[in-house]
Amino acid sequence: MRASPEAVWASLIRAALWPEWYPNSSNVRFVRGSPPDLAAGTRFRWRTFGVAIDSTIMEFVPGERVAWNARGIGGDAYHAWLIRPAAGGCHVLTEETQHGWLARLGHFLLPRRMYKGHELWLESLEERARHGPASGPGPNG
């Protein structure tokens, strides 16, 4: 990405504001933790791909790695992000595993939907990190 690792990280963990720039997310509500930023142990509910999800942060290494589980009707998932500095910006790797009947059905009916959704998330994240600050007050401001 042509954005600093710090700006990418700040936008990625500001989950309460995902719906402003990532159209596959909505209704982000914190159950445990301090909005708007994710942190170790944060639990949040949200909608993605039209499905209500309950997630908990499972890995959290500031500036480097964040991952959450995702539980919803018909399936479970694990979504991880890795950010590494690079010349002119950073490399961002995201990977997700899914299990359950809804995940299998979705893969069968719309085999590239998840790939396209994650591609959109990466493109939107880069745009947000480059041009739009992670707006709204964080836990320290």
- pLDDT band, residue 138 (cuts 50/70/90): very low
The answer to whether the beta carbons of residues 107 and 100 sit under 8 Å apart is no
What does the pLDDT look like over 30-63, one tens digit per residue? 999 999 999 999 999 999 988 999 999 999 999 9
pLDDT at 87: 97
What does the pLDDT look like over 82-130, one tens digit per residue? 999 999 999 999 999 888 755 656 565 656 767 788 899 999 999 999 9
pLDDT at 137 over 90: no
CATH of 5-131, one of 3.30.300.30, 3.90.1280.10, 2.60.120.260, 3.30.530.20: 3.30.530.20
pLDDT at 12 over 60: yes
pLDDT at 141 over 80: no
| In the chain, where the domains are located | 5-131
